[in-house]
């Protein structure tokens, strides 16, 4: 009997209330709300400022909160006491300080709602606290957001002596970085680099923001160059907080440039510097220990890495820096696992998962699940291992669905395909070749979507057009939530002031992320109901194994090749069964 053969190949390269005064000029492209008075302490308070979806908001604050028992000592400026959000489910955002006393925040709003504020949410006690924060708020609606940079430049020209308008550019650049508009961020940063030379602290800050913007594009030569400029200025002027940030950025850039010895020296210098800073030293020490641990881990010096990660976790917990603490908990688990401290490693991974879920830290989440799966597999608990692998795959595919930047999408799967490989190999060992084939198809579908990542789909059908618009909007919100939460309380401040806000990992971000992801699934489901062909180009939804089998005739078989980092396999799918075999053919010969 002659068999018709269909071929499919998947290549794995594992490598208090108030009334705001609204002012708006005849030709202005934004609304201004002046003299917004904030007095309520400890709780979220609504304002009467309604912010539309897609708008960019700029806030300028002044004033302070005081302790009546120590009027001359205990004072909190806006960067230390004020957080804002849009709507009840909005992301809390801190306010940054620039120049001597300009407190500002610029951000993009992705859901309609009223502006809310909270004063002193991180205070241990509100007793004897009093004061007033006054703010001016500007709102560009979605149709006019393209004029934000131009309008702020106009305000700077009209008010050359008011530094708060100049300060808006620093936060605007960070806003563009957070929403993935890296070219726009660079345009603003270029202007700041050319105009901030006279104010040395601001010159150092703009170089640090330039360095951080380049990290997202993985242009580590520029990361290093900008950070070196910031380091030179901060050393000369004594800005130790900025100096510590710069040292860690240089160390990271050198790490990715395969210069580990130089990277270690800069991380050690950051660690030494943390001992010279009174307030904020735990945060810098924790991040410096984290970098040192990573460098030792990359060179397979596990005992040294373990020691640094243990100290990193202790320091970051004291500093209440939950985002890096989640990362260090994962890396501590890695070091413990490699030291055969399996029970301790399991606890570290589980702690990392708990914090990552609360913070929306997807990268740490999928990695921790993958490692717990690997541990369970080695212990002979295949079912528990598969549960963790499946969770890791789900997080990975959810992350990929939220990416809008084409360059990030094209690089996304490079370091994650091994999770699919582990899943496929284990399912094969458990004689579950039909499920293994399904995950092979999911990985192949993921790679196909990446090839189509720069395509914009449209339709003549009104419902489909509206669904596509909503799908893009939801992806944008998911991406913004992840990035903005990471930097929400991370304005670069002088550590001596203790000006950074801290916040415990709460349920707000987790619930909002889950809501957005659930709605995105509903949108994809409806698109699939109306136009299945279009849906197949938007999501990872390959046919299930049984559905593939129904398409095969009695005299047809499907061959699907799995090319992994350690083993190569071939799946033979017929109408009756799915069977996989290991191949002894070298990878290069098979690919060629």
Question: Mean pLDDT throughout 493-499?
Answer: 35
Most confident of 195-209, 290-304, 464-478, 543-557: 290-304
Paired with 85 in beta bridges are 116
- First-to-final CA distance of the chain: 29
Close Cβ partners of 12 (under 8 Å, ≥ 6 residues apart) = 417, 418, 420, 421, 443, 562, 563, 564, 565
Q: Quote the pLDDT of residue 401.
A: 59
Task: Decide if pLDDT at 309 tops 60.
Answer: yes
Identify whether the C-beta of residue 479 lies closer than 8 Å to the C-beta of residue 406: no
d(CA 354, CA 326): 8
Most confident of 21-35, 457-471, 563-577: 563-577
Paired with 129 in beta bridges are 67
Residue 146 lies in a domain: yes
Residue 452 lies in a domain: no
Lowest mean pLDDT among 32-46, 422-436, 457-471, 526-540: 526-540
Residue 24 lies in a domain: yes
- CB neighbours (10 Å) of residue 378? 11
User: What rounded mean pLDDT belongs to the chain?
Assistant: 82
Close Cβ partners of 365 (under 8 Å, ≥ 6 residues apart) = 352, 353, 356, 357, 395
Task: Decide if pLDDT at 168 tops 80.
Answer: yes
Q: pLDDT tens, 476-495?
A: 666 666 554 444 444 333 33
Q: Quote the pLDDT of residue 415.
A: 73
Instruction: Please report which confidence band the pLDDT of residue 357 belongs to, taking 50, 70 and 90 as the band edges.
Output: confident
Q: Quote the pLDDT of residue 91.
A: 79
Q: Quote the pLDDT of residue 20.
A: 53
Q: Are residues 44 and 179 in the same domain?
A: yes
Residue 342 lies in a domain: yes
Per the model's pLDDT, the better-predicted residue between 472 and 136 turns out to be 136
Question: Mean pLDDT throughout 490-508?
Answer: 40
- Provide the residue range defining the domain that includes 319: 278-360
Q: Quote the pLDDT of residue 412.
A: 62
Q: Are residues 23 and 74 in the same domain?
A: yes
| Residue-level length of the chain | 592
Task: Decide if pLDDT at 55 tops 90.
Answer: yes
Q: Are residues 34 and 115 in the same domain?
A: yes
Q: Are residues 234 and 250 in the same domain?
A: yes
d(CA 89, CA 204): 35
Identify whether the C-beta of residue 61 lies closer than 8 Å to the C-beta of residue 103: yes
Residue 430 lies in a domain: no
Most confident of 275-279, 382-386, 520-524, 585-589: 382-386
Q: What angle do CA 154, 158, 159 make, to 5 degrees?
A: 115
Task: Decide if pLDDT at 180 tops 50.
Answer: yes
Q: Is 175 exposed, middle or buried (0-12, 13-18, 19+ CB in 10 A)?
A: buried
Identify whether the C-beta of residue 208 lies closer than 8 Å to the C-beta of residue 243: no
Q: What angle do CA 530, 536, 541 make, to 5 degrees?
A: 110
Q: Quote the pLDDT of residue 447.
A: 61
Residue 307 lies in a domain: yes
Q: pLDDT tens, 72-88?
A: 667 899 999 999 999 98
Most confident of 217-221, 414-418, 547-551: 217-221
Q: Quote the pLDDT of residue 537.
A: 55
Q: Quote the pLDDT of residue 172.
A: 96
Per the model's pLDDT, the better-predicted residue between 505 and 231 turns out to be 231
Q: pLDDT tens, 60-73?
A: 999 999 988 876 66
Q: Cα-flanking dihedrals φ and ψ of residue 379, to 5°?
A: -85, 0
Instruction: Please report which confidence band the pLDDT of residue 177 belongs to, taking 50, 70 and 90 as the band edges.
Output: confident
Q: Are residues 205 and 153 in the same domain?
A: no
Q: Are residues 56 and 167 in the same domain?
A: yes
Q: Are residues 86 and 140 in the same domain?
A: yes
Q: Are residues 27 and 139 in the same domain?
A: yes
Q: Are residues 141 and 238 in the same domain?
A: no
Question: Mean pLDDT throughout 319-328?
Answer: 86
Question: Mean pLDDT throughout 396-403?
Answer: 66
Identify whether the C-beta of residue 509 lies closer than 8 Å to the C-beta of residue 481: yes
Q: Quote the pLDDT of residue 583.
A: 82
Lowest mean pLDDT among 16-20, 31-35, 128-132: 16-20
Q: Are residues 117 and 135 in the same domain?
A: yes
Report pTM.
Answer: 0.70
Q: Quote the pLDDT of residue 296.
A: 92
> Number of structural domains, the chain?
3
Q: pLDDT tens, 532-565?
A: 766 655 555 666 788 788 888 778 888 888 877 7
Report the share of the chain in percent with pLDDT over 70.
Answer: 79
Residue 458 lies in a domain: no
Q: Quote the pLDDT of residue 404.
A: 53
CA atoms within 13 Å, Cβ hemisphere of 506: 13
Q: Quote the pLDDT of residue 523.
A: 78
Q: Are residues 162 and 231 in the same domain?
A: no
Tokens standing for 471? Answer: 């799908």
Q: pLDDT tens, 99-136?
A: 888 999 999 987 899 999 999 987 888 888 999 999 99
Q: Is 540 exposed, middle or buried (0-12, 13-18, 19+ CB in 10 A)?
A: buried
Q: Quote the pLDDT of residue 466.
A: 77
Question: Mean pLDDT throughout 329-335?
Answer: 96
Q: Are residues 303 and 215 in the same domain?
A: no
Task: Decide if pLDDT at 372 tops 90.
Answer: yes
Lowest mean pLDDT among 334-348, 411-425, 566-580: 411-425
Question: Mean pLDDT throughout 234-252?
Answer: 92
Task: Decide if pLDDT at 313 tops 90.
Answer: yes
Residue 97 lies in a domain: yes
For residue 304, give the CATH number of its domain: 1.25.40.10
Mapped onto helix, strand or coil, the DSSP state of residue 11 is strand
d(CA 65, CA 57): 24
311-314: long-range pairs with CB below 8 Å, 24+: 311/285, 311/286, 312/285, 312/286, 312/287, 313/286, 314/286
Q: What angle do CA 355, 323, 87 make, to 5 degrees?
A: 85
């Amino acid at each position: 009997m002659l068999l018709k053969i269909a071929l499919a190949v998947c290549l794995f390269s594992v490598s208090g209330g108030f009334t705001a005064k609204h002012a708006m000029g005849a030709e202005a492209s934004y609304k201004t709300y002046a003299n917004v008075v904030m007095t309520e302490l400890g709780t979220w308070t609504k304002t009467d400022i309604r912010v539309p979806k897609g708008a960019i908001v700029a806030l300028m604050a002044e004033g302070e909160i005081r302790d009546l028992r120590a009027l001359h000592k205990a004072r909190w400026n806006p960067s230390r006491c004020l957080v804002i959000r849009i709507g009840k489910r909005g992301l809390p955002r801190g306010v940054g300080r620039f120049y001597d006393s300009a407190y500002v925040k610029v951000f993009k709003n992705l859901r309609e709602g009223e502006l809310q504020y909270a004063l002193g949410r991180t205070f241990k006690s509100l007793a004897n606290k009093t004061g007033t924060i006054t703010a001016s708020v500007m709102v560009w609606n979605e149709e006019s957001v393209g004029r934000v940079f131009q309008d702020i430049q106009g305000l700077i020209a009209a008010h050359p002596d008011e530094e708060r308008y100049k300060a808006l550019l620093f936060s605007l650049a960070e806003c563009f970085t957070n929403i993935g508009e890296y070219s726009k961020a660079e345009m603003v940063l270029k202007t700041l680099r050319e105009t901030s030379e006279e104010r040395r602290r601001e010159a150092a800050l703009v170089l640090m923001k330039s360095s951080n913007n380049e990290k997202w594009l993985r242009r580590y030569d520029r990361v290093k160059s900008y950070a070196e400029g910031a380091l030179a200025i901060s050393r000369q002027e004594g800005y130790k907080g900025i100096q510590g940030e710069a040292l860690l950025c240089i160390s990271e850039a050198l790490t990715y440039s395969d210069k580990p010895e130089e990277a270690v020296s800069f991380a050690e210098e950051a660690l030494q510097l943390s001992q010279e800073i009174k307030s904020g030293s735990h945060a810098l020490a924790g991040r410096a220990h984290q970098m040192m641990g990573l460098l030792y881990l990359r060179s397979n010096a596990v005992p040294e890495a373990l020691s640094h990660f243990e100290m990193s976790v202790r320091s970051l917990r004291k500093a209440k820096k939950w985002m890096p603490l989640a990362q260090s908990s994962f890396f501590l688990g890695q070091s413990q696992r490699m030291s055969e401290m399996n029970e301790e490693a399991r606890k570290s991974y589980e702690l990392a998962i708990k914090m990552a879920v609360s913070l929306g830290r997807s990268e740490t989440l999928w990695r921790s699940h993958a490692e717990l799966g690997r541990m369970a597999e080695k212990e002979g608990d295949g079912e528990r291992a598969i549960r963790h692998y499946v969770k890791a795959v789900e997080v990975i595919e959810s992350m990929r669905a939220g990416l809008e930047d084409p360059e990030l999408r094209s690089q996304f799967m490079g370091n994650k395909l091994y999770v699919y490989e582990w899943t496929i190999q284990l399912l094969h060992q458990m004689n579950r070749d039909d499920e293994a084939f399904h995950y092979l198809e999911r990985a192949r579908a993921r790679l196909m979507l990446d090839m189509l990542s720069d395509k914009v789909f449209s339709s003549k059908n009104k419902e489909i057009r509206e669904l596509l618009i909503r799908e893009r909007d939801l992806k944008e919100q998911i991406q913004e939530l992840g990035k903005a939460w990471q930097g929400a309380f991370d304005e670069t401040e002088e550590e001596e002031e203790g000006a950074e806000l801290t916040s415990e990992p709460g349920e707000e971000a987790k619930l909002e992320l889950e809501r957005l992801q659930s709605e995105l699934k509903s949108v994809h489901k409806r698109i699939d109901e109306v136009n299945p062909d279009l849906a197949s180009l938007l999501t990872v939804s390959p046919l299930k194994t049984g559905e593939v089998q129904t398409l095969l005739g009695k005299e047809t078989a499907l061959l699907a090749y799995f090319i992994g980092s350690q083993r190569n396999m071939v799946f033979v799918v017929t109408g009756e069964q799915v069977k996989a075999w290991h191949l002894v053919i070298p990878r290069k010969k098979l690919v060629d």
